[in-house]
Amino acid sequence: MALHDQRVVVQQVKNGDPVGGISVPTTTDITIDGCNVQPVGTAESIGQPEPITSRWRVSTDVDDPHDEIRPQDTVLWNGGEFEVQGEVQTFYAVRPHTEFIITRTGG
């Protein structure tokens, strides 16, 4: 398995053109190849209906469309649905790359 051989799909919901005075939301998929996704950790909340939150770090080359990724966008990866947490960060030292955190909460 190579370091950056995974694919993630970022789903964004945007307000489209108004129809009858109401904006119609549209979903846009952004496919990003050449990703590395690694676990960051989990947290448990005893007594809550969805007690486990898992965090993963997505790392990929700088040239992909990272400036379009926003907090709360949905990410599809490895058969699961995740949410982007925080801002996308780009690093230029050593090996230029971009990182963002995705989370999933469940029981």
Give the Cα separation of 63 and 48 in Å (integer). Answer: 40
Residues 6+ positions from 46 with CB-CB distance below 8 Å: none
For residues 57-80, average pLDDT: 85
Q: Where does residue 78 fall: left (phi above 0), alpha (psi -120 to 50 degrees), or beta otherwise?
A: left
For residues 64-76, average pLDDT: 83
pLDDT(10) > 90: yes
pLDDT class of 95 with cuts at 50, 70, 90: confident
User: What mean pLDDT, rounded, does the chain reach?
Assistant: 85
Name beta bridge partners: 26: 14
Report the 3 state secondary structure along 53-100. EEEEEEEECCCCCHHHCCCCCEEEECCEEEEEEEEEEEECCCCCEEEE
Expressed in angstroms, the distance from the first to the final Cα of the chain is: 30
Report pLDDT for 65: 62
Domain residue extents for the chain: 6-106
Give the homologous superfamily in CATH for domain 6-106. Answer: Bacteriophage SPP1 head-tail adaptor protein (2.40.10.270)
pTM over 0.75: yes
